[in-house]
């Protein structure tokens, strides 16, 4: 991971330089976002069934149980959005924050009872930083879903989350540094990544910054980790890996496409990013449980 992260840092810096120097035609950010979601975003979750049964040969009952729980959770999250949109939205932000923090920092091998809080604080720091520095853009996205009543999700909330999560992340980092569980080099690298993403957030916009983070640091990194861990199932071949990810990637893309189709067909006026947030939140909950299994044995 450490070697890979160095290369990813160079790529992120190059992208930031390119995006800040080149005047992008209108709509490039949306195109980039959609291409990233299709190429790495959805596929990184489409191997959940392989990860789940990595070390076992599941019988029919186990398969039925897995798929029923997975699809049941998707339905439950949809129902929550219908009945409690604001709670669902804020819960999704918190769940995403934890998931992002875990996928970013799992390699540190941290121990103790604050690990989950540490992951949550890193992810919340990232998301609140992107949202607060692009508050008008993000409020327009959130506001497109009328039921969300965004007046309470204003800049004061995101600033307060930014300060609280930042303080918590720094405090816990100091604790882990003092315990020798994190080295200064590792801390420096994580701080540099956050500084680059802050730079991107200030120089470009929320969509581009989120796309850079989600494409490179979350999805691509997670795909590589999944490849390493399921190698014994699919062999060392990239084409077999792509083949294994294909069916549910297509299903995931169709699912997202259906969300877009329905929203445009019924002229709901919901931003494409907000539709992404709703559809992805339904997949994220079962995905988080499966990925937990992948990150935990590596501790
Ligand atoms: C296996 C399986 C399957 C599949 C699955 C899948 C395909 C998954 C995926 C998953 C995934 C794929 C996940 C993901 C996640 C993600 C996330 C977690 C995200 C978050 C985000 C956010 C939070 C953002 C926000 C924003 C925007 C968007 C714009 C700008 C601004 C902001 C930053 C605010 C099925 C169902 C078919 C069946 C059963 C089994």
The pLDDT assigned to 200 comes to 96
Question: Given its phi and psi angles, is residue 183 left (phi above 0), alpha (psi -120 to 50 degrees) or beta?
Answer: beta
Which helix (DSSP H) or strand (DSSP E) does residue 65 occupy?
A: helix 60-83
Cα→Cα distances 9→4, 16, 152, 194, 196, Å:
9, 11, 36, 11, 9
Average pLDDT, the chain: 93
Tell me the CA–centroid distance for residue 43 and ligand 1, in Å.
10
Q: Is the pLDDT of residue 1 over 70?
A: no
Cβ neighbors of 35 (< 8 A, separation 6 or more) are none
**pLDDT digits 0-9 by tens, 13-32:** 999 999 988 888 889 999 99
The answer to whether residues 42 and 256 touch, using CB atoms and an 8 Å cutoff, is yes
Q: Is the pLDDT of residue 146 over 90?
A: no
Q: State how far the Cα of 65 lies from the Cα of 123, in Å rounded to an integer.
A: 31
Ligand 1 lined by 67 (C-beta under 6 Å): yes
Average pLDDT for 171-195: 96
Q: Choose the residue to mutate in 72, 273, 293 for probing ligand 1, maximizing ligand atoms within 8 Å of C-beta.
A: 273
Q: State how far the Cα of 135 lies from the Cα of 48, in Å rounded to an integer.
A: 34
The pLDDT assigned to 84 comes to 94
DSSP code string of 172-240: HHHHHHHTTSS-HHHHHHHHHHHHHHHHHHHHS-HHHHHHHIIIIIIIIHHHHHHHHHHHHHHTT-HHH
**pLDDT digits 0-9 by tens, 118-144:** 999 999 999 999 999 999 999 999 999
Q: State how far the Cα of 42 lies from the Cα of 184, in Å rounded to an integer.
A: 34
The answer to whether residues 289 and 52 touch, using CB atoms and an 8 Å cutoff, is no
Q: Is the pLDDT of residue 264 over 80?
A: yes
* C-alpha 212 chain-centroid distance: 11
**pLDDT digits 0-9 by tens, 99-120:** 999 999 999 989 999 999 999 9
Q: Is 267 or 134 the better-scoring residue by pLDDT? A: 134
Ligand 1, atom nearest to 42 Cα? 12
Q: Is the pLDDT of residue 205 over 80?
A: yes
Nearest CA among 229, 222, 195 for reference residue 52: 229
**Three-state secondary-structure class, residue 269:** coil
Tell me the CA–centroid distance for residue 283 and ligand 1, in Å.
6
Q: Is the pLDDT of residue 183 over 90?
A: yes
The pLDDT assigned to 2 comes to 67
The pLDDT assigned to 299 comes to 43
The pLDDT assigned to 178 comes to 97
pLDDT interval class at 275 (50, 70, 90): very high
**Dihedral over Cα of 160, 218, 207, 15: its sign:** positive
Tell me the CA–centroid distance for residue 101 and ligand 1, in Å.
15
Ligand 1 lined by 248 (C-beta under 6 Å): yes
Lowest pLDDT segment from 50-64, 75-89, 205-219, 226-240: 226-240
Which helix (DSSP H) or strand (DSSP E) does residue 112 occupy?
A: none
Q: Choose the residue to mutate in 126, 217, 284, 285 for probing ligand 1, maximizing ligand atoms within 8 Å of C-beta.
A: 284
Q: Is the pLDDT of residue 297 over 70?
A: no
Ligand 1, atom nearest to 48 Cα? 1
Q: Is the pLDDT of residue 241 over 90?
A: no
Ligand 1 lined by 206 (C-beta under 6 Å): yes
Q: Is 103 or 230 the better-scoring residue by pLDDT? A: 103
Tell me the CA–centroid distance for residue 185 and ligand 1, in Å.
31
Smallest CA separation from ligand 1 atom 9, residue: 45
Question: Which value does ipTM take for this structure?
Answer: 0.86
Lowest pLDDT segment from 28-32, 219-223, 228-232: 228-232
């Amino acid at each position: 991971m450490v070697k890979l992260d160095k290369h990813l840092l160079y790529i992120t810096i190059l992208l930031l330089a390119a995006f800040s120097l080149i005047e992008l035609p209108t709509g490039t950010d949306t195109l980039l976002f959609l291409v990233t979601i299709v190429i790495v975003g959805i596929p990184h979750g489409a191997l959940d069934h392989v990860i789940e049964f990595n070390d076992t040969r599941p019988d029919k009952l186990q398969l039925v149980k897995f798929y029923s729980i997975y699809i049941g959770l998707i339905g439950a999250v949809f129902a929550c959005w219908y009945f409690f949109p604001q709670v669902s939205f804020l819960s999704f932000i918190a769940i995403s924050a934890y998931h992002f923090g875990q996928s970013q920092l799992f390699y540190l091998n941290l121990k103790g009872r604050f690990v989950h809080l540490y992951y949550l604080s890193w992810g919340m720091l990232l998301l609140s930083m992107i949202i607060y520095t692009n508050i008008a853009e993000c409020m327009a996205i959130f506001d497109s879903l009328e039921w969300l009543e965004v007046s309470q999700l204003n800049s004061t909330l995101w600033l307060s989350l930014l300060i609280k999560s930042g303080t918590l992340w720094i405090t816990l980092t100091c604790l882990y540094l003092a315990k020798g569980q994190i080295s200064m080099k590792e801390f420096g690298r994580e701080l540099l990544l956050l500084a680059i993403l802050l730079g991107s957030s200030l120089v470009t916009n929320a969509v581009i910054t989120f796309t850079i983070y989600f494409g490179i640091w979350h999805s691509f990194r997670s795909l590589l980790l999944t490849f390493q861990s399921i190698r014994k199932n699919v062999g060392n071949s990239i084409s077999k890996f792509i083949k294994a990810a294909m069916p549910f990637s297509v299903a995931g893309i169709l699912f997202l496409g259906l969300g877009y189709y329905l929203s445009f067909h019924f002229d709901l006026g919901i931003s494409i990013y907000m539709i992404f947030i709703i559809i992805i939140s339904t997949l994220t909950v079962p995905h988080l449980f499966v990925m937990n299994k992948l990150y935990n044995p590596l501790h």
